[in-house]
C-alpha cells in the first residue's frame, strides 16, 4: 500500500532564500503562486507580454516578469502553462535561462514522459501534481486545509530532488491533506486514461476551407458558403465513451486465469453446469456451500478492515471534535462526540502518538443472533405463551417490550416509556385517597398500538 506523507515529513525551510518562478497564472498557476507566497516563499510570475492575467497577478501582490526573465530569476521553475504550449515555451524562453542546480518542475508528466521537453542533465526534474482543480487548491489552502498531491522525481542532479518536491508540495498546502509518491510514467498514463477513456465524449463539426460561421442574437449558428457543393463538407460527428473492449479483454483474461488455476463454478459458490451425475452434483453442492461460508468470513473480515480504516481516517482528519450518530444497545439514537485528542498517548521517548491499537471485529456469535426478525418472533411467542408472566398484567407487558427494545425493535423504546408512565400514573392514583381514575388500556390494546407504531404486525 502506498505511503502517505504529511507536513511533518516535509522541510519547507529548504525553500528559504530561494525564488520560485511560476510560469503561467491560470487555474493551477494562480493557486500555486498565491499559496507559496502566503507560505513565506519568494515568488515571481512569468507571463507573456499582454497576458490577460497580468493585472490579476499584480493585484495579488506578486511580481510579474516576462517568461524569460522569470526563468532566469528562479531557482525553482514550475511550468504551469497548458500542456500543448509547454514545449514551445520551454525551448524559446526557459531552456537558455536555466542554470546548474535549478529545479525544473511540472504539475503533469506528459511533456517529460513523452520527450517533448528534454531537460539539461545538470538540473533536477520533479513533479508536484495536486489532485484537484486550481480553484480548489486555493480555496482549501485559504480554509486551512489542502488538496492531496502526487510527487515524482525524473532526474535527481542535486541529490535533494525528492526533498525539494516535498517542500514545494507543503508550500501549496498539500502536506495538510496527504502527499503520495509516484512516477512520471504512472501519473501521465493514468491521467490520460481518465481523460480519454473515461471522461471523453462530445461532438465536432467539419467546415469547408472558406466557410464562415456566424452566431446571431438568437444563438443560432449560421454557416455561409460560396458554392452549393460545399454543403456536403458540413458534417457533425458525435463521439461517445466506449470501454467495451477493455471490459471484454478483462473478462477474457479472467476466464483464462480460472481455467489455468482450475477454479470451477462450484468452488466460487455458483451452480456448476458441468456436474451431471449424482456424485458430481453432491460434490458440487458441498464445494459451493463451503465457498459461500468462506465468502461470509471474507465479508466479515472486509468490514472489519473497513471499520478500522474509517477509525484511522477520523484520527487523521478530525482536527475539530466531530459529532457522530449511533444506536446504543437499547435501540436508542445517541449523538456522541469523536475527538481524536482522546486517543493520544505518550511513548517512551516523550513523543505524543495516536493510539490505533484497537480490535475491530464483525464476527457474529450465532446465526440466530444476526436474525432480528427470528428473535422478535421467538420473543413474542414466549410472551404469548406466558413465559414472561400473566399477559394481562402491565408489568409483563413492560418486561416484553424491554426485551424487544434490547433487540432493536422499531419504536420499542417509546413503548417502554409509555408503559412506565402509565404504571407511575396508576401507582399515583392508587396512593391518592380520593384519586380519580382514568380509562386504563389493557395489555392487548397496548400490544396492538405498538405493532401499529412499529410499522405493522411483527414478523
In this prediction, residue 66 carries a pLDDT of 96
Q: Residue 120's closest CA among 96, 149, 147, 87?
A: 96
- 90 by DSSP, 3-state: which? helix
The tens digit of pLDDT for each residue in 238-280 reads 656 566 777 788 888 888 887 887 776 666 656 666 666 776 6
CA distance 393 to 47: 87
CA distance 185 to 145: 28
Whole-structure pTM over 0.85, yes or no?
A: no
The answer to whether the beta carbons of residues 400 and 407 sit under 8 Å apart is no
Q: In this structure, are strands 149-155 and 179-181 parallel, antiparallel, or unpaired?
A: parallel
Candidate list 30, 32, 53, 108, residue with the active-site label = 108
- 32 counts as catalytic: no
Percent of the chain with pLDDT over 70: 72
The answer to whether the beta carbons of residues 77 and 102 sit under 8 Å apart is yes
The tens digit of pLDDT for each residue in 200-209 reads 555 556 667 6
Percent of the chain with pLDDT over 90: 39
State in Å, rounded, how far the first CA of the chain is from the last one. 46
Mean of pLDDT values over 358-376: 62
Q: Per the structure block, which three cell numbers stand in for 212?
A: 464562415
Mean of pLDDT values over 170-186: 94
Q: How far is CA 310 from CA 152, 218, 428, in A?
A: 28, 53, 50
Q: Per the structure block, which three cell numbers stand in for 383?
A: 410472551
CA distance 212 to 223: 5
Residue 412 has pLDDT above 80, yes or no: yes
C-beta atoms surrounding 46 within 10 Å:
32
Residue 182 has pLDDT above 80, yes or no: yes
Amino acid at each position: 500500500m502506498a505511503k502517505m506523507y504529511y507536513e511533518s515529513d516535509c522541510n519547507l525551510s529548504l525553500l528559504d532564500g530561494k525564488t520560485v518562478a511560476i510560469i503561467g497564472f491560470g487555474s493551477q498557476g494562480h493557486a500555486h503562486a498565491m499559496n507559496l507566497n502566503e507560505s513565506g516563499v519568494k515568488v515571481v510570475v512569468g507571463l507573456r507580454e499582454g497576458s490577460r492575467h497580468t493585472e490579476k497577478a499584480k493585484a495579488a501582490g506578486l511580481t510579474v516578469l516576462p517568461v524569460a526573465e522569470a526563468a532566469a530569476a528562479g531557482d525553482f521553475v514550475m511550468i504551469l502553462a497548458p500542456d500543448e504550449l509547454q514545449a514551445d515555451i520551454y525551448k524559446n524562453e526557459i531552456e537558455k535561462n536555466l542554470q546548474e542546480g535549478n529545479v525544473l518542475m511540472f504539475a503533469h508528466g506528459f511533456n517529460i514522459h513523452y520527450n517533448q521537453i528534454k531537460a539539461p542533465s545538470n538540473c533536477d526534474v520533479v513533479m508536484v501534481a495536486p489532485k484537484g482543480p486550481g480553484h480548489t487548491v486555493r480555496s482549501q489552502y485559504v480554509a486551512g486545509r489542502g488538496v492531496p498531491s502526487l510527487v515524482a522525481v525524473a532526474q535527481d542532479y542535486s541529490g535533494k530532488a525528492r526533498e525539494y518536491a516535498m517542500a514545494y508540495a507543503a508550500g501549496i498546502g498539500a502536506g495538510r491533506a496527504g502527499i503520495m509518491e509516484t512516477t512520471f510514467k504512472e501519473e501521465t498514463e493514468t491521467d490520460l486514461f481518465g481523460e480519454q477513456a473515461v471522461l471523453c465524449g462530445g461532438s465536432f463539426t467539419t467546415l469547408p476551407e472558406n466557410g464562415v460561421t456566424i452566431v446571431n442574437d438568437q444563438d443560432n449558428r449560421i454557416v455561409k458558403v460560396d458554392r452549393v457543393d460545399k454543403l456536403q463538407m458540413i458534417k457533425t460527428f458525435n463521439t461517445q465513451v466506449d470501454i467495451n473492449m477493455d471490459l471484454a479483454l478483462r473478462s477474457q483474461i479472467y476466464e483464462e486465469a480460472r481455467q489455468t488455476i482450475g477454479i470451477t463454478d462450484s468452488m466460487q459458490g455458483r451452480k456448476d453446469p458441468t456436474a451431471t451425475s449424482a456424485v458430481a452434483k453432491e460434490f458440487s453442492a458441498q464445494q459451493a456451500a463451503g465457498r459461500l461460508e468462506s465468502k461470509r468470513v471474507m465479508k466479515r473480515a472486509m468490514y472489519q478492515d473497513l471499520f478500522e480504516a474509517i477509525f484511522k481516517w477520523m484520527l487523521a482528519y478530525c482536527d475539530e471534535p466531530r459529532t457522530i450518530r449511533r444506536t446504543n444497545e437499547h435501540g436508542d439514537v445517541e449523538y456522541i462526540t469523536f475527538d481524536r485528542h482522546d486517543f493520544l498517548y505518550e511513548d517512551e521517548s516523550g513523543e505524543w502518538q495516536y493510539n490505533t491499537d484497537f480490535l475491530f471485529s464483525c464476527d457474529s456469535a450465532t446465526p440466530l443472533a444476526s436474525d432480528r426478525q427470528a428473535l422478535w418472533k421467538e420473543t413474542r411467542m414466549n410472551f404469548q405463551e406466558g413465559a414472561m408472566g400473566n399477559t394481562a398484567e402491565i408489568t409483563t407487558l413492560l418486561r416484553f417490550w424491554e426485551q424487544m427494545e434490547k433487540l432493536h425493535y422499531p419504536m420499542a423504546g417509546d413503548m417502554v416509556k409509555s408503559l412506565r408512565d402509565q404504571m407511575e400514573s396508576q401507582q399515583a392514583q392508587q396512593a391518592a385517597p380520593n384519586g380519580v381514575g382514568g380509562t386504563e388500556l389493557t395489555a392487548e390494546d397496548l400490544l396492538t398500538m405498538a405493532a401499529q407504531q412499529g410499522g405493522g404486525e411483527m414478523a
